[in-house]
A and B are shown apart, each in its own frame.
Chain A
Amino acid sequence: MARTRTRARLRTSAIVASAGALLAVTGCGAADMTKQASPFAAPADIRTVTLSVQSWVGAQANVAVAQKILEDELGYRVDLVQTDEVPAWDALSQGRVDAILEDWGHPDQEQLYVKDKKTIVPGGDLGVTGHIGWYVPEYWADEHPDVTDWKNLDKYADELRTAESGDKGQLMDGSPSYVTNDKALVKNLDLDYKVVFAGSEAAQITQMQQFAKEKKPFLSYWYQPQWLFNEVPMVEVKLPGYSDTCAAKDPADIDCAYPTTPLQKYLNADFSKRGGDAAAFLKKFKWSEKDQNEVSELIASERLTPDEAAARWIEKHPATWKKWLDR
């Protein structure tokens, strides 16, 4: 009996002590989870910007150049957070990151955060137009020109068989974070193919390089702009034409090609208002596909660090980026 009481007292005092410590550390009252900077951010007297980086290299290129200019020209410290697209929207709304520089279209998120909650504001065009599609390597398309129409794809299913796709042809998809209708497309167009998810862009690129090295045929979900086109030239396969009515269908019923999307920037609403030079600069940041590919290829193919790649591009194209700094 006495022992239980001691133990209970011990436990209570432990709980009280830890709760007290927690309060002492954090201060009483409400703790706003949207107002927490990264613990690795620079001290308060230094102005910081946190940018979100997605896994594909194009996104790294945008961020690298923006970071370099923010640091060298405007005197900010830049923190990078690596996340997938949807969590990045979430983080942007919470203020964990200040900007997304390349968004491929997320209507659900836009509705929720931009229109309903108003925690995110559009930051304008990136200047790059994105397009998703099905691609085959040029060396293969040259031999079989009719492969570039979806109606003839079934003829080639045998050639595209792999251990993973079994007795069907393999249509390789990439990261699960990417926008894709491929499963629905294969079903609705009644193709003799199986969608095999590479699981990450890194895995997909590695596999495509490997195929290209052996001049083997492949069919892959892929997108433009992308630096890999310079290394492995690819041709798009024509899918049934895109239309808004088709895109509005239930995701499982979609049976047409992907749209062509002008890529967008988004800023945290608060940052957009109070971000000063940095916010103004990020809103003006706008370059071409060629520019982006130039930096991307330096990063991914030449294996420069994003920082070095950005430095090289900045040195070569002052006319382009000086405009972003005009007030």
Chain B
Amino acid sequence: MATAQATTRTASGPPGSGPLGLLRDRPALGKILLLLVIAAVAVPFAHARWGGGLWPGALTVDLSGPLGDVNDWIIGNRDSHPLFLYFFGHISNAVVLSVRGVYLALLALGWAGVTAVAALVAWRTAGWRLALTAGLSFLVCGLLGMWVPTMQTLALMTVAVLTSVVLGLLLGLAAGLSDRTFRVLRPVLDTMQVLPAFAYLLPVVLVFGIGVPGAVLATVVYAAPPMARLTALGLRGADAGVMEAVASLGATGRQRLFSARLPLARKELLLGLNQTIMMALSMAVIASVIGAGGLGDRVYQALSSVDVGAALAAGIPIVLLAVVLDRTTEAAGRKAGTEPTGPWALRGVRGWGLAALIAAAVAVVGRFTGGRVWPEGGIVAIAEPVNTAKDWMVDHLYTGIPVIGGTADWAAHFTNWVLNPLRSGLQGLPWWGVLLIVAALAWTIGTWRTALTAVLAVAAIGVLGVWDLSMDTLSQVIAAVAVTLVLGFGIAVGAARSRRLERLLRPVLDVFQTMPQFVYLIPVVALFGVGRAPAAAAAVVYALPAVVRITTQGLRGVDPAAMECARSLGATSGQQLRQVQIPLARPALLLAVNQGVVLVLAVVIIGGLVGSGALGYEVVFGLAQGDLATGLVAGAAIVCLGLMLDRVTQPTARRQRKES
């Protein structure tokens, strides 16, 4: 896909005058030529010295020895070394205490109280419609028999999100106020955001042991970057005129910060909060692998007894939490800075006071009438019908459908005709060839900096000694991304043309996007068997919503004047799409590709749990066997792969901003 884009870019466009003009008009061509020259010098040398094929053994560093030592040292000293007693121990204690505090508070409120608080907060920030959604959502959690796990997840999330927000704010403040910190921090945050969460559970487990502390900290690492990034963005984007005015009034640095900069950045701060909550929620599920408890644990346990119905019963509350939290913070962001409306008695503090009063009343009444925990009798069992439906689907779709074949046949064909050739192709390429291709792609799409990062990331994979496995994973990512893009662009074109289709799609996309990835794993095995095909299928399902959303928005956002113009020239709708909409929406399309790649990678890794092998399996193996050397090396390779894929598909928007 990316190759196709690169070539069409160099092959189209207006002709320049003479070879120099050609280069000036098409900088990509110049970059490729320069790269070819470098290659012509370097490749023969590298080939003579280390040979082609897989990454040369002479250039690898075996980390298993030292990492094994670190592993043993941590286990040997965890109960006695001051580093653990006086540092990690306190952190761990603080996490346990605060999660416990929140959990007990939630239980004390009782189900009626919690539901009332959720509904009233939603009402104050987003209106009665969302209040209804929020209240109903919590009731559904109880009806599904998931009240206690939901409260556990909520307690864990509250602590993780608060910590992430504080950490993100501090980092964001530093980056927003100092250019140097900003420059240093940006690549770090970039990297943290492309990390698949699964990759760094292992070191956390080793230091903190299984359970809540490790899970909360892993979540914080995962969820803090968007907060930091958006805070920095908000602070840096403060209106220069306002700042000038405040400075001229003689405000000190601190006054400027608190009275002008931070209030001006309110929208970004709330968007950061929103992003942080979403990331924390998705991580709270993955962290169940290391014993986080709550809803994620229920999903994970249901999967080990192949019970899709029970997994769904625990997955639905996660989706509902995500929808409620997302919409509430989004509405808060929209309302930020606008004048309060509504009747006088409900404005500002008075409205909140009223809400608090109602919540307290409901909680007290609830305690006296119902009790703390959801009543046992009020549970609707959905597991069985869901499992029956799944069994029916599997029975009828797995194989032997005339003409089109069953899902098992598709999986076999996909593996044989797409995955296998891709994998042997990538593994068969000489290592310097891979480096060159990566450099060429990253450079034509981005800057020499992104190209350098991408090439170094690939080289690091080789140095780590997992070249073979990484090419296997890469082939899976490329195949799954290709399928995602074909489907995603197709659906998006349809959705961009029909408002009704878009409205119909919205809830479906919401559900697919927020459903924990784990939930997909067992149905895909039932449909596609064990192997790389089901992992690819799960990845496609997970990445599709983001691609569809971004693409639809991009296509919709095309300047109506340009469309009008094309229509008046008599362009058919196909021509409009090909020659106006798609070229104009190019930045959005590239962003869709980028997001697709990052999301697909995350799931292909988890695919290690259903037989996708390669790096994902190594990480699972490392976690399961407590083998730091294997798990961490694979994790590092995944990070490098993610970094490379991100840079190779980095949308041009950032470059343009820098140039302008």
Chain A interface (Cβ within 8 Å of chain B)? Answer: 2-3, 6-7, 10-11, 14, 22-23, 25-26, 30-34, 36-40, 53, 55-57, 60, 81-88, 90-91, 94, 96, 112, 162-164, 166, 172, 175-177, 196-207, 210, 213-214, 299-300, 303
Contacts and interface: CB of A to CB of B under 8 A. Distances in A.
Nearest to A5: B253
Contacts of B93: 25-26, 31, 36
Nearest to B149: A40
Contact of A203 (B309, B411, B611): B611
Contacts of A162: 412, 529, 531
A26 B305 contact: no
Contact of A199 (B152, B205, B291, B620): B620
Interface residues on B, range: 35 or more
Interface string B200-211: 000001001111
B201 to A, nearest CB: 10
Contacts of B91: 22
Interface stretch (B132-140, B185-193, B296-304): B296-304
B610 A33 contact: no
22 contacts: A7-B177, A7-B253, A25-B98, A30-B85, A36-B93, A39-B96, A39-B100, A55-B304, A81-B291, A87-B210, A87-B626, A88-B210, A163-B420, A164-B531, A175-B624, A177-B625, A199-B530, A199-B609, A202-B522, A205-B306, A206-B530, A303-B307
Given A2-B253, A88-B210, A177-B621, 8 more contacts: A7-B253, A31-B92, A38-B293, A85-B624, A94-B209, A196-B611, A206-B522, A207-B525
B526 interface: yes
Contacts of A206: 306, 522, 525-526, 530
B288 interface: yes
Contacts of A23: 90
A87 B623 contact: yes
Contacts of A300: 305-306
A33 B89 contact: yes
A299 B522 CA distance: 17
B222 interface: no
Contacts of A88: 210
B443 interface: no
A279 to B, nearest CB: 21
B617 interface: yes
Interface string B113-137: 0000000000000000000000000
A203 B525 contact: yes
B608 interface: yes
Interface in B571-613: 607-613
Given A196-B611, A202-B306, A82 B529 contact: no
Contacts of B208: 33
Contact of B211 (A38, A53, A60): A38
Contacts of A40: 100, 103, 152, 155, 212, 293
B88 interface: yes
A56 B213 CA distance: 25
B525 A202 contact: yes
Nearest to A33: B89
B96 A33 contact: no
B530 A82 contact: no
Given A82-B291, A82-B300, A87-B205, A60 B305 contact: yes
Given A26-B94, A81-B291, A206-B526, A199 B387 contact: no
Interface of B: 75, 78-79, 84-86, 88-94, 96-100, 103, 152, 155, 170, 174, 177-178, 205, 208-213, 252-254, 288, 290-291, 293, 297, 300-301, 303-307, 309-310, 383-384, 387, 394-395, 398-399, 408, 411-412, 415-416, 420, 521-522, 525-526, 529-534, 607-613, 616-617, 620-621, 623-627
A194 B88 CA distance: 44
A110 to B, nearest CB: 14
B610 A198 contact: yes
A129 B86 CA distance: 44
Contacts of B92: 31, 33, 36
A23 B97 CA distance: 12
A166 to B, nearest CB: 7
Contacts of B384: 303
B304 A202 contact: yes
Of A10, A25, A33, A207, most B-chain CB atoms within 10 Å: A33
A176 B621 contact: yes
Nearest to B620: A176
A49 to B, nearest CB: 15
Contact of B252 (A6, A202, A205, A214): A6
Contacts of B399: 214
A299 B301 CA distance: 12
Contacts of B304: 55-57, 60, 82, 200-202
A205 to B, nearest CB: 6
B635 to A, nearest CB: 14
A82 B293 CA distance: 8
A31 B86 contact: yes
Given A82-B300, A90-B75, A199 B252 contact: no
Question: A-B pairs with the 10 shortest C-beta distances?
Answer: A31-B89, A177-B624, A163-B415, A39-B100, A176-B621, A84-B624, A39-B99, A30-B85, A86-B626, A55-B304
Contacts of A200: 303-304, 521, 609-610, 620
A7 B571 CA distance: 60
Contacts of B89: 30-33
Nearest to A89: B626
B292 to A, nearest CB: 10
A56 B305 CA distance: 7
A34 B79 contact: yes
Nearest to B89: A31
Contact of B90 (A10, A26, A94): A26
Contacts of A176: 608, 617, 620-621, 624-625
A203 B90 contact: no
Contact of A303 (B387, B411, B525, B532): B387
A164 B415 contact: yes
A96 B211 contact: yes
Nearest to B211: A96
Contacts of A207: 525, 529-530
Of A25, A166, A303, most B-chain CB atoms within 10 Å: A303
Contacts of B525: 202-203, 206-207
Contacts of A22: 90-91, 94
B554 to A, nearest CB: 36
Of A22, A40, A84, A166, most B-chain CB atoms within 10 Å: A40
Nearest to A196: B611
Contact of A25 (B97, B152, B533): B97
B354 to A, nearest CB: 32
A91 B291 contact: yes
A202 B303 contact: yes
Given A163-B412, A203-B522, A196 B531 contact: yes
A2 to B, nearest CB: 8
Contacts of B532: 164
A197 B613 contact: yes
Nearest to B99: A39
Given A166-B420, A176-B621, A201-B304, A10 B530 contact: no
Contacts of A112: 75
A32 B254 CA distance: 40
Given A26-B93, A199-B610, A82 B288 contact: yes
Of A37, A39, A196, most B-chain CB atoms within 10 Å: A39
Contacts of B212: 38-40
A6 B534 CA distance: 56
B87 to A, nearest CB: 9
A33 B209 contact: yes
Contacts of B521: 200, 202-203
A293 B305 CA distance: 14
Contact of B611 (A25, A57, A198): A198
Contacts of B616: 199
